[in-house]
Amino acid sequence: MNDGTHAGHSGPAPAPPAEIRFHGGKAMSAVPILFFIAWAIAQSGVLGIGDTAGLIVGMLVGLILGMLLVRGNWADYAEAVVEGMAQKVAVTAIVAWLWAGMFAATLQAGGFVDGLGWLAETAGMGPAVFPAVTFLLAALLATGIGTGYGTVIAFVALFFPAGVVLGADPLLMFGAILSGAVFGDNLAPVSDTTIVSAVTQDSDVGGVVASRFKYAIIAATLAFIAYLGFGWASTGAAIDADAAALFRAQSNASGLFHLLPIAVVIGLAIRGRHIIQAISVGLILAVAINLLFGLAPGTDMLVFRVAEDSWAAARFGDWPLVQAVAAAEAGVGGSLYDGPVGFATLAVLILLVLGGAQVMIRGGGFHALQEWLLEKVARSVRSAELTMVSVTAGINAAITINTAAQIAIAPYIATIGKRFNINGYRRANILDANTSALGYIFPWAGGVLVGYTQMQGLAETYDWFTPAMVVEPIQAWPWVFHGWLLVAVFLFSAWTGFGREYTTDRISKGHATQ
């Protein structure tokens, strides 16, 4: 006898539900996702078109092409697409985008960015240190509120423009924000991914957070140093002098009143309130601060623009929150509109991608890949852990919401890990760190696209924000230092045994989630 993967009964890997059969075998179930990835690379990488709605077309066409390859009943395929789109994790992510979008846009309307500008000037914080400080603060916010997506939205809306206009490198700034989101998703006790990683590996949340601290803090320390170093090195970057002058002229300490609603959101999240509750309270407070201190009129937050020659303009034109405008400009506006509406397109895209991923799961392509890894690659504890790290990182290429990626891969990580008696904490840590990291690195990942979507709206918000300051998703991946370093720390740990625990050392406390 050699090891658990050979002679004798070694326990079945988790089997998917009723399989959809494809012409050309199980690998063909990956066609919709592979087509989408190729489309995304061609569209955004080769043609340089950063249009999220264009990616929707790519995914739709991929799903149709995949269906043509199905043997037998197409209804099962269609059902799998809907099944994938209906996952709760997708809706949870979209909810975070919508609420964070409203909140961030309302803080923008109240001049929070102008407040940051004032603070940076007063504290003498130059462009060299801005990315490093942004990384720290984004990590802090993400750890507090438990949503990396929400953090990306808030920081791209608020810190990114302030840093860039003061001369910090946009690539470093975006990378630092994404890094902070990775840190929070990985470590926050209230993060979806933390909870999923603990529950699926028979562990308690407190135990996994404590045991993953060492990996997170090593990677974060190195990332912080890297942001400082690259920040210093890039201070010679050309600054748009007009933009900087305009920004300085607008800087105003009163915007910092909005630190209060941010603190309230973090406090409520840490106390275990749902993200909808926490951000709603913060939002109400932000609106009240805007109105009470005159930071923004009500129409900056919500406005009904009615056509000036209409009956409605004559009747309601002088009501609060109503403006009479030229017919072509009629519509709803303000931060409560602009904030969340920008994410509607991305929400549709993410749902479709999860539909495509479900086809791959139900078509057996995913299962076949995992079985191959289990039988052929994971032959020693070192290769098993290296496989676990690579697979958890790579899964984000196909399933672009990191929580969904984790849920899909979790049973396989449990199976591989248990065959070498790797304990639940170690398995949960490998699972969470690498899915969190790559979820903010692949150019088509939800975390990157959500930041890019937010960034595109900045030119409309600020006079001084120029299109040249926008970072395309394809440009961001090398600069997500904490993400890369976290993967590197785990590859090192798998190779050397750093932090490894066997069930004979300690058995994780199963199933308790809080």
* Shortest distance (Å) from residue 179 CB to other proteins: 20
CA dihedral 475, 481, 486, 488 (to 10 degrees): 80
Question: DSSP alpha helices (H): ranges in 271-401?
Answer: 275-292, 298-301, 311-316, 335-341, 344-362, 365-372, 381-394
Within 10 A of 492 (CB to CB), how many other CB atoms are there?
15
* Contact (Cβ atoms closer than 8 angstroms) between residue 349 and residue 55: yes
Nearer to other proteins, 251 or 493 (CB): 493
What residues make contact with other proteins under the rule CB under 8 A? Answer: 1, 3-4, 6-11, 204, 206-207, 209-211, 213-214, 217, 380-382, 418-422, 496-505, 507, 510
| Three-class SS of 186-208 | HHCCCCHHHHHHHHHCCCCHHHH
Largest CA-CA distance found in the chain, in angstroms, rounded: 88
Nearer to other proteins, 11 or 124 (CB): 11
Nearer to other proteins, 159 or 215 (CB): 215
Q: From CA 418, how far away is CA 28, in angstroms rounded?
A: 30
Nearer to other proteins, 273 or 379 (CB): 379
* Shortest distance (Å) from residue 495 CB to other proteins: 10
Nearer to other proteins, 211 or 435 (CB): 211
Closest listed residue to residue 253, CA positions, set 406, 119, 52: 119
* Shortest distance (Å) from residue 407 CB to other proteins: 20
* Shortest distance (Å) from residue 378 CB to other proteins: 11
Nearer to other proteins, 6 or 315 (CB): 6
* Shortest distance (Å) from residue 486 CB to other proteins: 16
DSSP state of 11: -
* Shortest distance (Å) from residue 146 CB to other proteins: 17
Nearer to other proteins, 85 or 205 (CB): 205
DSSP for 107-126, please give it. HHHTTHHHHHHHHHHHTT--
Nearer to other proteins, 202 or 300 (CB): 202
Residue 87, Cβ density class (10 Å: 0-12 exposed, 13-18 middle, ≥19 buried): buried
* Shortest distance (Å) from residue 142 CB to other proteins: 18
* Shortest distance (Å) from residue 361 CB to other proteins: 22
* Shortest distance (Å) from residue 7 CB to other proteins: 6
**Chain centroid, CA 1 distance in Å:** 45
* Contact (Cβ atoms closer than 8 angstroms) between residue 159 and residue 138: yes
| Three-class SS of 423-444 | CHHHHHHHHHHHHHHHCCCCCC
* Sign of torsion over alpha carbons 487, 493, 494, 500: negative
- State the distance between the two ends of the chain, measured CA to CA, in whole angstroms: 41
Nearer to other proteins, 5 or 235 (CB): 5
Q: From CA 67, how far away is CA 76, in angstroms rounded?
A: 10
DSSP for 146-185, please give it. --HHHHHHHHHHHHHHHHHHTT--HHHHHHHHHHHHHHHH
Nearer to other proteins, 317 or 510 (CB): 510
* Shortest distance (Å) from residue 89 CB to other proteins: 26
Q: From CA 159, how far away is CA 36, in angstroms rounded?
A: 32
How many Cα atoms sit within 13 Å of 95 on the Cβ side? Answer: 14
